[in-house]
Structure 1
Amino acid sequence: LYVPPSYKRKGPWEFLKDRTLRLVIPCLFYSMIIAPFNIWWVKHTTDPKATMGQAFAEWFAPGWPTKYVLPTGPPWFIWMLWCFNVAYVIIKVMADSAIGKKLLQAVGKACRKGDDAAASLPQQGDDKKEAGGSAAKPAAPGSVEYTTKQWLVGGAVLTFVLFALMFATRVLDMLAFNLRPAVFVSQGPFVAFMPDYFVVYVVAFALGIYSGPASWNVLARMPSGYAAWWLSISGIWWVLGGWIPNILLLRQMSLQFGMGAFMGSWMLRTFVEQSFCVVWSAGLLVLFREAFNIQPKWLGRQIINGAYGAYIIHPPIIILFARAVMGLDALAPSAVINAAVISLPVVVCAWTVAAAVRAIPGFDRVL
């Protein structure tokens, strides 16, 4: 959403420099500092003799770049976002070149032939202009909400595209590469992603680029008043179409690797994932637009500004509080209750630490 205006304001090289500073540095810090630190802390829980130096030595033992170091953990998504930004810069630079402009002009001219032919036909309402004066001026593009029908059709098309791309990738991975769905592929220090989800991220990034006010203005044009409906429907659908079949049919379907039942289970799961994603995301976007579309005060600004830092540093904080409740079987007899007990303090602590780090001069440029 913010990529096109930022690119236009800063230019390609300054834009790429800023994105590298904000995305690559946190990836490096997490992958080379926080990740081995987490390994030591987890080992130290059951083995007090484990040392931090030993954990770092084991992490880097194979040597760079044979060891998978970057990205790992939460920053893998940040690294992928940086790769998308690099691809965007390359495409924009090529499109703005002399050859790129000529190519785009040729494509635009070919696309306009059909529009010119349609424009030469009598348009509905021309007779009204002649008889009764000037007709009502049409609303500016991008300023009118989508109708419910338009959103339903658009959502259905988007769901089908995401489903088709993802399932085709999963079938190709299984048949050609003997690779199970939802598995990370790691090659060297810079390649780590789930191929079946990668295609979805590409589509989502492209949609984000064209969803701002300068283009389709999707966020402002989504129909109002449907947030509760969309969230409720998608939640029920996830339980009925995703959770219950996954629990009941796991042994019969998911373990049949390479078989028709396995393919069928992942076809269902892929459709549920993408349909849920589209409807749930729309509900959240409308909910936040209608409920929180206000200028935040001091606390709100701190929460917003600290979100990125909290995302980076939250894993060791989870370990901290998880260790604190270990052995308290009376209070936390299960993993679910453990998670519920530590969730609030983890969130508060992560944001507090992020705010403290951002207060260090210069760190707000990165976080």
Structure 2
Amino acid sequence: MTATAVRLHYLDRVRVLLTVLVVLHHVALTYGSFALWYFHEPSMGTPSPPGEWDRLLDLFLLLNQTYFMGLFFLISAYLVPGSYDRKGGRRFLADRMIRLGIPLILVVFAVVPLAKLPSYRMRNARAPAPYLDFYLRELEQGPGWFLVTLLAFVAAYTAIRALGPAPRQRSATALRARTIIGFAVLLAVLGIAWRVLLPGVHIPVLQLPVPEYLPQYVCMFTAGLIAYRRGWLATISAHATGWGFAVAALAVVTLLPLALGGADASGDRLLLTRVAHGLFDGVYCVGMSLGILGLFSRRFAGAPTPVGRFMSANAYAVYVLHAGVLVVVSVAISGLPAGALTKFVLATALSLPLCWVVAAIVRTAPVGRLVL
């Protein structure tokens, strides 16, 4: 059997998990220390009572950021070669433009402006201004950065395929330890180089929230393309799965303290911090990605249940629409006298099912089902 003939149901479940993590990530931004979300309660809403466990949200954000979008790019890339082979270059690229471009327009012109309404209300209370001026000035990609970046990667893949010979079909091969270690080293080296040589550099057009992860995203997307041809995602062993999680845990204990220990550092200490952070990013990303893929490939490989099909079918729409849903929920519970961790749990419990319900409703429209 060729590598391209295998249908991996478990990847749909991993995609659902990653979508849930995206929602949780932004819920954590709502109540954590980083004021990087459209509604940040510590600075915009009713201040919540302080809690000694609230810093867990910041730790979750740091660990989550290190791997979950990279794994999203890997899975997205895994689906690219087969689609290109079936459709040909022009039709494939046109379909991707529709599938990614129209949701991006929806995010920029509808979802993000809805999510920014609390910010407008605050600014308007201090200095009244027409909403149209605010709307036009504040247009941005928001979570749509992933769609823009993925579209850029897909366009590059299409151009390379158009210029070169068709890839050879291969039989499924085992994912070897030396391949995994080599890839982790590559991610670490590129991550260190970026943090040391290009600190603080922003990428125009893509608007990455954390530009330091661009090398990781490129490598993970490329790995997904190669994994499809060689059948690697169907051959992850239980042994490799356990090692993946173990290495990720070890990186948290040994490398993360060094990476976070130089907030006010300079000179050699700052250099050590950046090297440790780049090394941690590479090791933790590979460890967590390998662990999750291996776990799901062994435990959740069967045909989907009706609930599973519902979750998977609407996961992409949840990604596109979740920002507006989350902000509505967060504003609704902002007056509750509870700590940040309690509100994180409550907002998560309310937002996740509501996101899937809203996504399913939007997808009942013909256009919604076509692009989402």
Q: TM-score, normalised by structure 1?
A: 0.73
Unaligned runs of 5+ in 1: 62-66, 109-139, 175-179
Give, as a single letter, the amino acid of the residue that structure 1 aligns with 2:270.
Answer: F
Q: Which amino acid aligns with 2:121?
A: H
Q: How far 1:58 sits from its partner (Å)?
A: 2.0
Match of 1:57 among 116, 126, 133: 133
Q: Aligned residue for 1:117?
A: none
Contact in 2 for aligned 1:44/1:50 (Cα 8 Å)? no
Query: Do 2:191 and 2:279's aligned partners in 1 also have CA atoms closer than 8 Å?
Result: no
Structure 1 residue 232: Cα displacement: 4.4
Report the CA distance between 1:9 and its aligned residue: 0.8
Return the alpha-carbon distance in structure 2 between the equivalents of residues 348 and 142 of structure 1.
40
CA 1:186 to 1:168, structure 2 compared with 1: closer, same or farther past 3 Å? closer
Matches within 5 A, 1:277-292: 277-292=285-300
What is the alpha-carbon distance in structure 2 between the residues aligned to residue 80 and residue 270 of structure 1?
21
Per-residue deviation, residues 80-134 of structure 1 (Å, max 9, x unmatched): 00001101111111115xxxx9xx9xxx9xxxxxxxxxxxxxxxxxxxxxxxxxx
Q: 2:359 aligns with which of 326, 351, 354?
A: 354
Is the 2:107–2:144 Cα contact (8 Å) retained in structure 1? Answer: yes
Give, in whole Å, the separation in 2 of the partners of 1:296 and 1:343. Answer: 24
Unmatched runs of 5 consecutive residues or more in structure 2:
1-77
State how many pairs are aligned: 294
CA contact (8 A) 2:236 2:294 kept: yes
CA contact (8 A) 2:258 2:276 kept: no
The answer for the alignment partner of 1:207 in structure 2 is: 223
Change (3 A) 1:164 1:297: same
Q: Is the 8 A contact 1:167 1:196 kept in 2?
A: no
Q: Which amino acid aligns with 1:15?
A: F
**Correspondence for 1:295 among 292, 299, 303:** 303
Match for residue 44 of structure 1 among 121, 141, 144: 121
Which residue of structure 2 lines up, in the alignment, with residue 254 of structure 1?
A: 263
Contact 2:314 2:360 in 1 (8 A): yes
- Cα distance change, pair 245–336 in 1 and its aligned pair in 2 (3 A): farther
CA distance in 2, matches of 1:279, 1:307: 24
Q: Percent identity?
A: 24
**Does 2:371 align with 1:366?**
yes
Q: Relative to 1, partners in 2 of residues 1:195 and 1:144: Cα closer, same or farther, differing over 3 Å?
A: closer
* Offset of residue 231 of structure 1: 2.2
Equivalent-residue separation in structure 2 for 1:48 and 1:5 (angstroms):
53
Q: Output the CA distance in 1 between the equivalents of 2:211 and 2:315.
A: 27
2:151 to 54, 70, 82: 82
* Pair 1:169 & 2:185 matched: no
Q: Which has the larger radius of gyration?
A: 1
- Structure 2 residue identity aligned to 1:164: V
RMSD: 2.8
- How far apart, CA to CA, are the structure 1 residues paired with 2:194 and 2:259? 21
| Partner SS, residue 21 of structure 1 | helix
Structure with the bigger RCO (C-alpha within 8 Å, sep 6+) is 2
Residue 335 of structure 2 is aligned with which of 327, 330, 334? 327
The structural deviation recorded for 1:225 is 4.8
Whole-angstrom distance in 2 between the partners of 1:80 and 1:156: 26
- Give the letter for the 2:346 counterpart: V
Which one-letter code corresponds to 2:117 in the other structure?
W
